[in-house]
Amino acid sequence: MTGSGSGHEVRGEPTPEAVLGPLEAAALAAIRGARSSDELAAAAADALGRRSTLAEEQRRLAGRPPAARPIWGRALQEVRARLEGAVAAATALLEEAERQRRLAADRLDLTEVLPAPTAGHLHVVTQTLQVLEDVFLGMGFAIAEGPEVEDDWHNFTALNTPPGHPARDAQDSFYLDVEPAGSMLLRTQTSPVQIRLMESSPLPIYAVVPGRVYRRDTADASHLPSFHQLEGLVVDRGIGFPDLAGTIETFTTAYFGPGVRSRLRPGFFPFTEPSAEFDITCTVCGGEGCRTCRGVGWLEMGGCGLVDPAVFELVGIDPEIWSGFAFGFGLDRLAAMRWGIPDVRLLMENDVRFLAQF
Amino acid sequence: MRVPLSWLDELVELDASPADPARVAELAATFADLGLVPEAVEAVPGALEGVVVARVEAISPIEGADRIRAVVVDAGSGPVEVVCGAWNFAEGDVVALATVGTTLPGSTEPLRRRKMRGATSSGMLCSAAELGFSTDGAGILLLDPATPVGAPLGELPGLGPDVVFDLEIQANRPDCLSVVGVARDLAARVGARLRPPAAVADPTPWLGEREGAPSARPGPDGAAPAPGDVRVMGAIASVGIEAGAPCGRLDGLVLEGIRVGTSAPVVARRLSLAGMRPRNSVVDASNYVMLETGQPTHPYDLDRLGAPGLVARRARPDERLVTLDGVERLLEETDCVIADASGAAVGIAGVMGGESSEIVAETSRVLVEAAWFEPLPIAQTARRLGLRTEASARFEKGCDPEGASGALARIAELLGASRPGEESAVVGEGPPGMPAVRERLSAVSVLPAPPSVAVRVQRVNELLGTALEPDAIAQLLEPMGFGVGHEAPERLVVEVPSWRPDCAREIDIVEEVARQYGYGRIVARPRRSPGVGARTPLQVLRWQVRRLLAGLGADEAWTATLLAPGAHLAVGVEGSGLAVANPMVAEEVELRSSLLPGLLGALARNVTRQEDALRLFEIGRVFRRQDGPWPAESEFAALLLAWPGDDARAAVQAWRTLEGGLRLQPVLFEASAVDGLHPGRSARLRDQAGCLVGVVGELDPAHVAEAGLVAGRRIGWLAVDLAALLAAPKKPESVVVPSRFPTAEFDLAFVVDDETPAAVVEERLRGAAGALLVHIALFDVFRGPSLGEGRRSLAWRLRVAAPDRTLGEEDLAQLRSRCVAAAEAGGLATLRS
């Protein structure tokens, strides 16, 4: 073997390159060619183990001529380091491939998941109420409540609707079979809570009153004998019609969005004066006129007005000092309007296929 | 109130054509802004094209025919021969001719020239019914002789294309239950002049001055008037009001020489457009005037009264009357009747006249009644009898106490009784055979006096947010008939017109100002509460419960408050004992005492729709009768669990979710039979203070089967009282800092009698572990022959840790034996080896 390029060449002795070069090439090929961790372990043992050629050469080092020993020593170290590096690299590659194989085997089609029990659904009227409650809470209003069984005083008389008043006809009532007859009824409106508030709360009052009310109506697509109202009452100094209009505008915009406007037009309620009905621009056609709004561009929402001084006098509030306004509207109708519910009887049918849509 | 545009146009200068949709829409918007909201705006086609006015020139028999005649008419362009089967006309009469090619209402075929028995018919003479004006098809329609011959019928006033505004009139505006009233509001708003019919504006020429004289003489029935009675005797008839009758005015008008026939086409058409059926000229005139002026009147056949005269009085005990609709009515003493001068009731005051004195074809002398009644008694009578008429609708809301004269005069005018300027026709001096007013009578007891109202200009502007000057306020009010005087610079005195019973106070005038000013012109002002908006604790709790129950997979239901009789018993619970006195339907009578009947019913309905795996919850009020008129009313949340596998365990788990979510101190399960629930699988829930919070368990299998569900199906049930939940003690708002030292775990299994609740053993273990306990859970329940009958093994896993050190073997051994000793004390449990 003829060495070249080395000043330390000793005649008759093979150079480290000549001996270790092929050895390293073969070992590298075996390491890089390993297809599994077992193969790699075998290749690593062949290349670097105690019985490897490299180990043999290591042991032979002491028998080398002293001048050649440093050269051989360095060369052996370098080969060993390169082979060890190759083993580490091959190990990492194999582990990554192994991980990928395991992940691939672990694949899950997420659309084949069996249905699990889901959360239930709040009733659409409840959800409507929650949105509105939050609007009014944001305006600083309290939420007040009252009994569903009322006496005639709170439901009618104190609301400036004495016996025989024509407005009682429009609200045919369910009376209870208690003595004295005709004294107790299922409330026909949430307005009696106005009276309860004015009787018991310190002034000023800013409150809304949600609740279930009852009228002796035959159920049809747009009527239920029981339904839900949201009533509002404000009593303060210096309240006038502009405050009423502003409040209606604020909450209708908050609920329906900025594209919806409201308007007031004269109406009649015994406990407000001036009284008004309030409309919003049709949510279907935006005011252009369509079938939903019967071509007029407006949808009737509810009633409102300034608190009639007679009501203040009945509850002992001085109408010369205090003034106020009240408003009310049907939640069920509002929910039906927003969701396009064609028949309000669906609201009370409790068909889970309906309930689960909200 | 259905108001034809043509009628309105006669009373206000509107310059609005029915053919101009933009103008019609503008009017509709104006009505809405005045509070006279159009519920519908209907376009109505005019009288038929091809129908013309014709004069009868000659009538001749047709040989061989005894039911038809040949008639030659002049329709403006030469003679036309037609064959006609009607006999109610003579030569010279003016009639309606449908020419060849015309298609009449109700027919699809155009008229053709026909030959009948040798005579040629080139058209058809029409009845009011054939023209669609009325239901009267008895003879052909006779037109006013002054009608221009040859004119198309559709071009006569009131017969052209029209628009009907169907206005919703508020309960406080009886004055707008009339075309004049509607016109008045509209005229004031648009700045046009109101032109009421001449007879209404000034009734005197039609009525004359003679009104009869108050009299104390005995009436024709021989009875002397009682103190407080009002009686007015005329030469022909009398009117009176008995003391105590809710009648403020009873006016009468005697007309003679009446020929009952068909009304003029315009009258018939307007009645039809307004929604009333034309009947005959006299009844139609009465109805027309009611629609026009708002004053109901009633015409009696004077010769069919027991004695000529009318008295308003209370009904006698057991008095009966057959009304115009042929129904016998049993009256009560609270009802007001109109009796004839012999004392026999001939009408229910303000509601409906009697059959016996009805206008008939032969009637020639008519006594027209125009009255004012107190609203409330009329409303009560109409309601009790279930007889709501156009008249009662007006009287019960309050008619104009001064409206009688105008209405009577207008009826006289419509019946052609007399005309302004025709001196000879006034009061009893008309030519024989011509309709004439013979006598006008007026009895008045107590009428409401229209008030004058002091109005502060500043108050108006404060409430409306306006800056109106006194004169501007006057200009808004005066066109509606209010008189406005200036008492002081900032103080007006407003004289309310007699037809506005709704205006008596300053605030009423404020509303009128706002209405005429326009609600839309009042500028909105945002107003915020000075307070903080926050839910009450109960409201917060209710939303928490709702969310927690929905989180358990339950859909929120809304079931009926009113249940069928027996609905409670059917599910084993006691009813509320409280029913509505006037139910609509037999299924909705008793107030619910529990949410169970409703929710179980909802489940059953879903099952019939093949939806049988569901959980439902409801939050709602329940009721119970108690002493006194007020019922006990409380609010419950109830959960019905009917997923496959749901049972009492699922209900308890649901309760645990609520308990944890609401941070309640653990409640006590009081095992006991609960109404409607499985006696061995139910418990009452009591808070630490012993108050009942609710019930939990499984429905009684008997009722599950009765509700139409598969027998043996288990249904979990949880019902809680929201007020009790709110009051129940909560966990303190403080924290236990988790130990940083290792947690140790050990299991303990005990054999326990079936009668001993697991909760009792667990409570002992809790007590024994004390502050070291991190968590305890029952993880196994085992029954088997090795344990013996009536016993089971219960296994708990305890996790423990000390806050300040690692628990050593010795600590754990001590703790374990403390727990075992506590559980076994008194032989309650035996450690399972």
Check CB contact under 8 Å for B539 and A151: no
Cα–Cα dist B356/B407, whole Å: 24
- Is residue B531 included in any domain, yes or no? no
- Is residue A10 included in any domain, yes or no? no
- Is residue A321 included in any domain, yes or no? yes
Rounded to 10 deg, the angle between the A37-48 and A16-33 helix axes is 170
Cα–Cα dist B594/B576, whole Å: 8
- Is residue A198 included in any domain, yes or no? yes
Check CB contact under 8 Å for B556 and A174: no
Cα–Cα dist B494/B577, whole Å: 55
Rounded to 10 deg, the angle between the A69-105 and A53-60 helix axes is 160
**Same domain for A152 and A95:** no
Chain A residues with beta carbon closer than 8 angstroms to that of B37:
265, 277
**pLDDT over 50 (residue B420):** no
| Range with the poorest average pLDDT among B303-312, B374-383, B421-430 | B421-430
pLDDT greater at residue A22 or residue B212: A22
**Same domain for B78 and B37:** no
Domain count, chain B: 6
Check CB contact under 8 Å for A142 and B533: yes
Cα–Cα dist B253/B412, whole Å: 9
Instruction: Give contacts of A 202-231 with B, CB under 8 A.
Output: 204, 206, 212, 214, 216-218, 225-226
**Same domain for A335 and A203:** yes
pLDDT greater at residue B206 or residue B323: B323
Which residue, of B379, B409, B444, is where some domain finishes? B444
DSSP three-state, residue B298: strand
pLDDT greater at residue B417 or residue A240: A240
The string of DSSP codes covering B609-670 is TT--SEEEEEEEEEEE--SSSPPEEEEEEEEEEESTT-SHHHHHHHHHHHHHHTTBPPPEEE
**Same domain for A233 and A130:** yes
Q: B518 to chain A: nearest residue by CA?
A: A265
Chain B residues with beta carbon closer than 8 angstroms to that of A323:
463
**Same domain for B284 and B136:** no
Closest C-alpha among B577, B628, B583 to residue A184: B628
- Is residue B734 included in any domain, yes or no? no
Which CATH number covers residue B722?
Answer: 3.30.930.10
Q: B170 to chain A: nearest residue by CA?
A: A268
**Same domain for A190 and A82:** no
pLDDT tens figures, B541-551: 999 999 999 99
* Paired residues of A210 in beta bridges: A230
The pLDDT confidence band at residue B451, using thresholds 50, 70 and 90, is very high
The average confidence (pLDDT) of chain B is 90
**Per-residue confidence (pLDDT) for residue B208, from 0 to 100:** 66
Mean pLDDT of B655-678: 93
CA distance A97 to chain B (A): 39
**Same domain for B327 and B264:** yes
**Same domain for B470 and B569:** no
- Count how many residues are written for chain B: 833
Which residue, of A59, A79, A107, is where some domain finishes? A107
Mean pLDDT of B404-419: 87
**Same domain for A98 and A135:** no
Angle at the Cα of A51 (from A50 to A54), degrees rounded to 5? 80
Residue B479: which domain range? 452-521
Closest C-alpha among B363, B456, B454, B442 to residue B405: B442
- Is residue A4 included in any domain, yes or no? no
A126 → closest Cβ in B37, B375, B556: B556
- Is residue B739 included in any domain, yes or no? no
CB atoms within 10 A of CB B494: 24
- Is residue A175 included in any domain, yes or no? yes
CA distance B650 to chain A (A): 13
**Same domain for B760 and B633:** no
- Count how many residues are written for chain A: 358
- Is residue B738 included in any domain, yes or no? no
Q: What are phi and psi of B104, to 5 degrees?
A: -85, 155
- Is residue A99 included in any domain, yes or no? yes
Mean pLDDT of A50-64: 88
Check CB contact under 8 Å for A249 and B524: yes
The pLDDT confidence band at residue B485, using thresholds 50, 70 and 90, is very high
**Per-residue confidence (pLDDT) for residue B366, from 0 to 100:** 95
Mean pLDDT of B34-47: 85
**Same domain for B508 and B575:** no
pLDDT tens figures, B614-644: 999 999 999 999 998 999 999 999 999 999 9
Closest C-alpha among B79, B249, B256 to residue B150: B79
Q: What are phi and psi of A143, to 5 degrees?
A: -110, 120
**Same domain for A161 and A33:** no
**Per-residue confidence (pLDDT) for residue B76, from 0 to 100:** 84
CA distance A311 to chain B (A): 12
Q: What is the ipTM of this complex?
A: 0.83
**Same domain for A174 and A99:** no
Chain B residues with beta carbon closer than 8 angstroms to that of A169:
171, 379, 383
**Residue A355 in contact with partner chain B when CB distance is under 8 A:** yes
Chain A residues with beta carbon closer than 8 angstroms to that of B633:
147-149
Cα–Cα dist B227/B224, whole Å: 9
Chain A residues with beta carbon closer than 8 angstroms to that of B170:
266-268
Check CB contact under 8 Å for B535 and A216: no
**Same domain for A171 and A81:** no
Domain count, chain A: 2
pLDDT greater at residue B80 or residue B718: B718
**Per-residue confidence (pLDDT) for residue B427, from 0 to 100:** 46
Chain B residues with beta carbon closer than 8 angstroms to that of A147:
621, 633
**pLDDT over 50 (residue B117):** yes
Check CB contact under 8 Å for A174 and B580: yes
**Same domain for B109 and B57:** yes
Considering A5-19, A108-122, B399-413, the range whose residues carry the highest mean pLDDT is: B399-413
- Long-range interactions of B75-79: CB distance < 8 A, separation 24+: B75/B99, B75/B149, B75/B150, B76/B52, B76/B149, B76/B150, B76/B151, B77/B150
Amino acid, res. B38: P
- Is residue A112 included in any domain, yes or no? no
Mean pLDDT of B528-538: 93
What is the DSSP-derived secondary structure letter of residue B47? Answer: S
pLDDT tens figures, A273-327: 999 999 988 877 877 777 777 777 788 899 999 999 999 999 999 999 999 999 9
pLDDT tens figures, A76-115: 899 999 999 999 999 999 999 989 999 999 998 888 888 7
Check CB contact under 8 Å for A141 and B529: yes
Which CATH number covers residue B347?
Answer: 3.50.40.10
A174 → closest Cβ in B582, B617, B631: B582
Chain A residues with beta carbon closer than 8 angstroms to that of B536:
142-143
**Per-residue confidence (pLDDT) for residue B56, from 0 to 100:** 93
Which CATH number covers residue B774?
Answer: 3.30.70.380
**Per-residue confidence (pLDDT) for residue B470, from 0 to 100:** 95
CA distance A31 to chain B (A): 47
**Same domain for A199 and A311:** yes
The pLDDT confidence band at residue B224, using thresholds 50, 70 and 90, is low
**pLDDT over 50 (residue B430):** no
Residue A25: which domain range? 16-107
- Is residue B530 included in any domain, yes or no? no
A355 → closest Cβ in B462, B522, B556: B556
* Paired residues of B65 in beta bridges: B62
Which CATH number covers residue B87?
Answer: 2.40.50.140
The pLDDT confidence band at residue B189, using thresholds 50, 70 and 90, is very high
In chain B, the percentage of residues whose pLDDT exceeds 90 is 68
Mean pLDDT of B496-516: 96
Check CB contact under 8 Å for B520 and A263: yes
Which residue, of A75, A107, A139, is where some domain finishes? A107
**Same domain for A47 and A20:** yes
Cα–Cα dist B354/B808, whole Å: 105
Instruction: Give contacts of A 64-93 with B, CB under 8 A.
Output: none
**Same domain for B488 and B426:** no
**Same domain for A167 and A39:** no
Instruction: Give contacts of A 291-330 with B, CB under 8 A.
Output: 294, 296, 306, 308-310, 323
**Same domain for B239 and B100:** no
pLDDT tens figures, B758-810: 999 999 999 999 999 999 999 999 999 999 899 999 999 999 999 999 999 99
Which residue, of B698, B727, B756, is where some domain finishes? B727
**pLDDT over 50 (residue B816):** yes
pLDDT tens figures, B232-266: 988 899 999 999 999 999 999 999 889 888 788 88
Mean pLDDT of B48-64: 87
Cα–Cα dist B342/B309, whole Å: 8
Which residue, of A50, A74, A107, is where some domain finishes? A107
| Range with the poorest average pLDDT among A116-125, B142-151, B171-180 | B142-151
Say if residues B178 and B294 touch (Cβ distance below 8 Å).
Answer: yes
Mean pLDDT of B555-560: 97
Cα–Cα dist B802/B738, whole Å: 9
Say if residues B240 and B249 touch (Cβ distance below 8 Å).
Answer: no
CB atoms within 10 A of CB A220: 10
**pLDDT over 60 (residue A3):** no
**Residue A338 in contact with partner chain B when CB distance is under 8 A:** no
Chain B contact probe: residue of A241, A244, A278 with most B CBs at under 10 A: A241
Chain B contact probe: residue of A145, A174, A214 with most B CBs at under 10 A: A174
Check CB contact under 8 Å for B561 and A147: no
Check CB contact under 8 Å for B37 and A265: yes
Cα–Cα dist B518/B535, whole Å: 37
Which residue, of B727, B753, B785, is where some domain finishes? B727
Q: Is B586 exposed, middle or buried (0-12, 13-18, 19+ CB in 10 A)?
A: exposed
B554 → closest Cβ in A120, A177, A266: A120
**Same domain for B707 and B691:** yes
Give the sheet arrangement for strand B773-782, strand by strand: B773-782, B791-800, B744-753, B829-831
**Same domain for A207 and A176:** yes
- Is residue A2 included in any domain, yes or no? no
B552 → closest Cβ in A120, A273, A275: A120
Cβ pairs A/B, distance under 8 A: 254
Which CATH number covers residue B169?
Answer: 3.30.56.10
Chain B residues with beta carbon closer than 8 angstroms to that of A353:
609, 611
pLDDT greater at residue B120 or residue A271: A271
pLDDT tens figures, B296-330: 999 999 999 999 999 999 999 999 999 999 999 99
B521 sits in the region (left: phi over 0; alpha: psi -120 to 50; else beta) called: alpha
**pLDDT over 60 (residue B419):** no
Torsion angle of C-alpha atoms A233, A237, A240, A245, degrees rounded to 10:
-50
**Same domain for B566 and B502:** no
**Same domain for B13 and B73:** no
B35 → closest Cβ in A206, A247, A265: A265
Mean pLDDT of B121-134: 82
Tell me: cis bond preceding A274? Omega within 30 of 0 counts.
yes
